[in-house]
Each structure stands twice: as C-alpha cells, then as structure tokens.
Chains A and B, each alone.
Chain A
Amino acid sequence: MVQKDSNTSSKADYEDNALPDLPDLSWMDKTFQWGTKALPEKNGGGLTLDALNIGIYGDIPEHYPYRNRLPRGAVPVPSAGSIGGYYVQDKYEQWADSAPHLYEEGISRRWSTATDIPWDTGRGLSEDVEIAIAQVATELSNWGSVESEVVSAWLQNLSPGYHEVKYFLSTAVYDSARVEEGYRKRALLNGAGMMLESPGRMNRACLETYSGWSQTVLTMWLLRGSLMTAIVRYLSVYGPTEADRELAFRILPDIMRKSAYACDHIRFAISKKSELTDVFQGTLQLAEFAQLSDFNDPVLWEALAIIFGGGVQNMELGMGRVLELQQHFLSVYLGRCKQANVDRTAQVANGPWGAILAGIPITGHTSADEMRAMIEEMRERARDESAR
C-alpha cells in the first residue's frame, strides 16, 4: 500500500505550521469479524485450537479455493497471487474433527528419548538377543523415517485452509522422527549397531501412494500402523530389558494419535462421498499385498522370535509369540478398518491372511502351497472332529 508523502501536506496547526498527513490506516478495519474472543480451557488446558474455532473462525469450508498461504479467516490481497501449490483443497480429502485436539494432546504429551528412557537398564543381554533387538530396532527406525518423510512431503500439498490438520501432522512428523531416532539409539546402545533394512515393499507403498492423502493414510496408518502397534505393544510387555519396554511403552500413545486421526479422517471422507468406500477398499487390498510380501521376509520374525524366546535356542517358543503378535496385528487392523467404516473382515479371513487366523504364522518359512496344504489339513481335522 502506498502512503502519501508527508512533504506534500496542506494541513497546518493553529500557528500555521505545516502538519504531516496521518498515515493511511485503512488496513485497520480489514477483518471479517471484529470482537472474537477465544477463552482458555479450564483445568490447566490453556488456550487451545478448539477454543479458537468460534464465530466465523469456526466455519470450516468444504472447499478452500486459495492456492497460496492465505490463513483461514484472513482477508485476501490480490498481490499474494497463486503459488500453484496446495492442490488438496477439499475438506473431505484431509479433515478429521479430532485433529485440533490431537494436536494439543501431541504437544502436551511430548517427551524425549534422550532423557525419558532409562538407557542404563538396556544392557547385559546375551549376544544373540542383543543382535535380534538391534535388527528389530533397525526396521522400526526405518519405518519411522519413512513415515516422517511421507507426511512431510504431503504437508506442502494440503491446503492451509485446514490448518488444524497441518498442525497435527507436524506433530506426527515429530512423533515418527522420534520412532526413527529412538530405535536408532537402541540399535547403537550396545555395539550391535544398525542391521538389515526392511524388505521395503511396504515402505514404497507408503512413499508412492500418489492417488491421494487419504489413500496414503490408509496404507501407512491403518495397515502398517496396525503392525507397528502390535510390535510396539509386544515389545512394551515382552521386550528384553526395561529400556526396551519403556521405549515401546512411550511410543505407543504417539502411534495411537496417528491411528485416531486416520480412522476419524477416513470415516469423515466416506461420510462426504460414499463412493470412496470402494476406492478405499481397493487401496487397502493393494496395500495388503505389499504388506504380505514383507511378511514373507523371515528376518523380522526370526529376530522377534529370538527376543520372545530369550535366545536362538528357544526360537520355536518365541515363534509361538510371533504368531500371537501377528494375530494381534490383524485384530488391531480389522478393528481400525471397522472404526474407519471400511470393513475388511471377510476379505482378510478369506485371503492369504486367513493362515494367521487359522494359527499358521506367515514368516517366509513356508511357501504359499505348503500353507494352503496346512490349512486344508486343519480344516479336514476340524471336519472329522465335528463328524465324530
């Protein structure tokens, strides 16, 4: 805005001294709603994002047309133009009612792997268990890295009109980075170091889901997130040291916030466009193939079996717990799918995952044909028993 030159003033005071023109302060009334006053929460919650969504500022549009950084509720200026970004402009593509709350929760419940984990308790393991936990730590660290990169990449595409979602996703980037660095620290704690990376098919599925943010959420947080939940839960109870259990225990709530956003968002998207149900079912089917492919890599399962069994010599025992973990994963996954309104119960029960439900772990040690034969044998036995 160009202000008038004070030298050209024609105003004067009572002694005829020239007075400068007042600056043009017309910008001061450029607000859509004057007098909006947000109130802090009671009980120590402070001034939260939810509390700001009042008056016109609580009006969250179905479509946000501005392809620049215009903050929701601010007055647009033509010179800002379009930077051609932020192409995810519809509410159904990103919104979740819980996002503002999840953001506040994530910020309030922040923690540090450096000082909140009793690292000195993480020592004294036998060499095989130490190597096994380093292997698991390497893979989890890898998954955390992928998550933080995927969310970061999508952030620049999501419209700033839904800032609550972007704020929450910023905490998710941090939470995922914490998984990455926390498990990197674990791998390097006692000398085993970083081991084999993940097979990578699921990593690629998360990184390369270009069809939409919702599809990425399905792949990364409904499916892979369920597996991460199951592994972290089992490590929080059956981890080999207090440090391992505490690290997993502290990561669990962070994962659950991402799951909450994911289920809430997918449910919202379907409530706005019911035809998305089929699209999302297809996305999950493809993602399940990628996940299944990773399941057939034995490294992670062998490492977990060594941890749960307490050593290589008790791997068989540990494999029993691996099966429990895989069943827990499916239970978490199907629960989340139902919560998100994309039920996958029948597809999972009748597809390759059915082996796990029937009591046969998928660990890459058995071929698909062998597995089918085992399932058929089990069914036959069950039929015989019921006939008797």
Chain B
Amino acid sequence: MAAKASTAKRIKFPSVGWYEEVASITVADQQYQKYGRLNAIVAFKSEDSIIQVNFDVLNIHEIKEIEEDEMRDCDFIIELEADQWKDMLKDIKKNNGASLDWTLNTLDLKYDEPIHRNELEDGFKADLFFRYIPSLQVFFDNASQITTRF
C-alpha cells in the first residue's frame, strides 16, 4: 500500500476533533466503502474520555463526547488504557496501518479481557464488533494520515 500524505495539523487524541478528522478521511476511503454497510453506535473509551461515533451505513457522524452512564446506549464500547491507545496509534503511524500485534482483532484476543463489550451485556450488540471489524480497522488505520499529539 502506498504511503498517504499526512496532514500537517497536529490533532490531540482523544478528542472529538481527532475522530472527526479520521472519519472524514474514512468515508472517502474506497476500501472502507468496499467493505460495505455497517450500523453501529460505538463508544471509544480512554480513561475519562469517552467519544461516541455513529457508523451509519457508509457515513460516520454524530461524533460527540458522552458521559459514563450514556455508554449503555451504545452498541458496543472499545476501551483501552491511555498508553495502549498511544502505542497502537504510534504503531499505525509508523507502519501506515496497524501491524499484526496492534490490530483491534489481536488486542481483543490477546489481552486478558476483550477490548470490546456491551455495557448491558447484550451479546447481540457486542458481536457487532466482529461483524464490522474490517471496517473499524480501516478507520483506525486511517489515523496514519494525520499527525496525532497525545
């Protein structure tokens, strides 16, 4: 895969702006479109920061910060410690996409606890993580195209 030019602007992670920037790259990504439709409201949690993103068919929108008790309204949550997010995003930047050790799939299997869950233990919703995991990986791989500051 040819390296894509990254934006010069440094965007703080985690923040609504960071997710909006990656979303705008991803909706135009042909690989993302090829992977097909998805329907999931996902919360990304890094310690106190919880950002909700609506993956709505082929659009990605309604990105906003939410409170802990609003996670129950999300289909699933992906939670990593701040250092783990940082290491994952550094790996993505370095390799122009996650290397094997840092894909969402690997992290979910290798850690003692899965990185994804549904807050109300709804297995049907939690399993959306696996139904859409190729698309979610494209989303995070596109973080290689921006300059992230932590």
- A residues near B (Cβ < 8 Å) are 41-45, 98, 101, 104-105, 108-110, 233-234, 236-237, 245, 249-250, 252-253, 256-257, 259-260, 263-264, 328, 335-336, 338-339
Q: Contact string, B73-112, partner A, CB cutoff 8 A, digits 1/0?
A: 0000000000000000000000000001000011001100
| Chain B hits for A253, CB < 8 A | 130-134
| Chain B hits for A105, CB < 8 A | 36-39, 131
- What DSSP secondary structure best describes chain B's contact surface? helix
A43 & B58 in contact (Cβ 8 Å cutoff):
yes
Q: CA A110 – CA B91 in complex, angstroms?
A: 29
A260 & B131 in contact (Cβ 8 Å cutoff):
yes
Q: Which residue of A lies closest to B121 (CB)?
A: A338
Given that A43-B57, A237-B110, A252-B133 are known contacts, is A339 also in contact with B37, CB under 8 Å in the complex? no
Q: CA A328 – CA B109 in complex, angstroms?
A: 9
Given that A109-B37, A249-B134 are known contacts, is A336 also in contact with B106, CB under 8 Å in the complex? no
Q: CA A250 – CA B137 in complex, angstroms?
A: 12
25 contacts between A and B (CB under 8 A): A42-B56, A43-B56, A43-B57, A44-B57, A44-B58, A44-B59, A45-B57, A104-B37, A105-B36, A237-B106, A237-B109, A249-B105, A250-B134, A252-B105, A253-B130, A256-B127, A256-B130, A259-B127, A260-B131, A263-B123, A263-B124, A264-B124, A335-B123, A338-B123, A339-B123
B134 & A101 in contact (Cβ 8 Å cutoff):
no
| Chain A hits for B150, CB < 8 A | none
With A43-B58, A249-B133, A328-B109 given, name 14 new contacts (CB 8 A). A42-B57, A43-B59, A44-B58, A104-B37, A105-B37, A108-B36, A109-B36, A233-B105, A237-B105, A237-B110, A252-B130, A259-B127, A263-B124, A339-B124
Q: CA A259 – CA B125 in complex, angstroms?
A: 12
Given that A237-B109, A237-B110 are known contacts, is A260 also in contact with B56, CB under 8 Å in the complex? no
A41 & B36 in contact (Cβ 8 Å cutoff):
no
Q: CA A124 – CA B120 in complex, angstroms?
A: 46
Q: CA A86 – CA B14 in complex, angstroms?
A: 54
A42, A260, A264, A335: most-surrounded residue (chain B CB, <10 A): A260
CB distance from A265 to the nearest CB of B (A): 12
Q: What number of A-B contacts does a CB cutoff of 8 Å give? A: 68
Q: CA A260 – CA B128 in complex, angstroms?
A: 9
A44 & B134 in contact (Cβ 8 Å cutoff):
no
Q: What's the interface size class on B, roughly?
A: 20 to 34
Given that A109-B36, A339-B123 are known contacts, is A237 also in contact with B57, CB under 8 Å in the complex? no
With beta carbons under 8 angstroms apart, the residue of B37, B109, B123 that contacts A45 is B37
Q: Which residue of A lies closest to B135 (CB)?
A: A109
| Chain B hits for A43, CB < 8 A | 56-59
With beta carbons under 8 angstroms apart, the residue of A256, A335, A338 that contacts B131 is A256
A41 & B124 in contact (Cβ 8 Å cutoff):
no
A245 & B100 in contact (Cβ 8 Å cutoff):
yes
Q: Which residue of A lies closest to B105 (CB)?
A: A236
B37 & A44 in contact (Cβ 8 Å cutoff):
yes
A237 & B123 in contact (Cβ 8 Å cutoff):
no
| Chain A hits for B56, CB < 8 A | 42-43
CB distance from B46 to the nearest CB of A (A): 23
A257 & B123 in contact (Cβ 8 Å cutoff):
no
B106, B130, B132: most-surrounded residue (chain A CB, <10 A): B130
Q: CA A245 – CA B109 in complex, angstroms?
A: 14
Q: CA A252 – CA B103 in complex, angstroms?
A: 15
Q: CA A384 – CA B36 in complex, angstroms?
A: 56
3 closest cross-chain pairs (CB), A and B: A109-B36, A108-B36, A339-B123
CB distance from B110 to the nearest CB of A (A): 7
| Chain A hits for B109, CB < 8 A | 233-234, 237, 328
B100 & A260 in contact (Cβ 8 Å cutoff):
no
B37, B56, B134: most-surrounded residue (chain A CB, <10 A): B37
Taking CB atoms and an 8 Å cut-off, the chain B residues in 112-150 that contact chain A are: 123-124, 127, 130-134
Q: Contact string, B48-60, partner A, CB cutoff 8 A, digits 1/0?
A: 0000000011110
CB distance from A334 to the nearest CB of B (A): 10
Q: CA A338 – CA B120 in complex, angstroms?
A: 13
CB distance from B144 to the nearest CB of A (A): 18
| Chain A hits for B110, CB < 8 A | 237
| Chain B hits for A257, CB < 8 A | 131
Q: CA A328 – CA B111 in complex, angstroms?
A: 13
CB distance from A1 to the nearest CB of B (A): 42
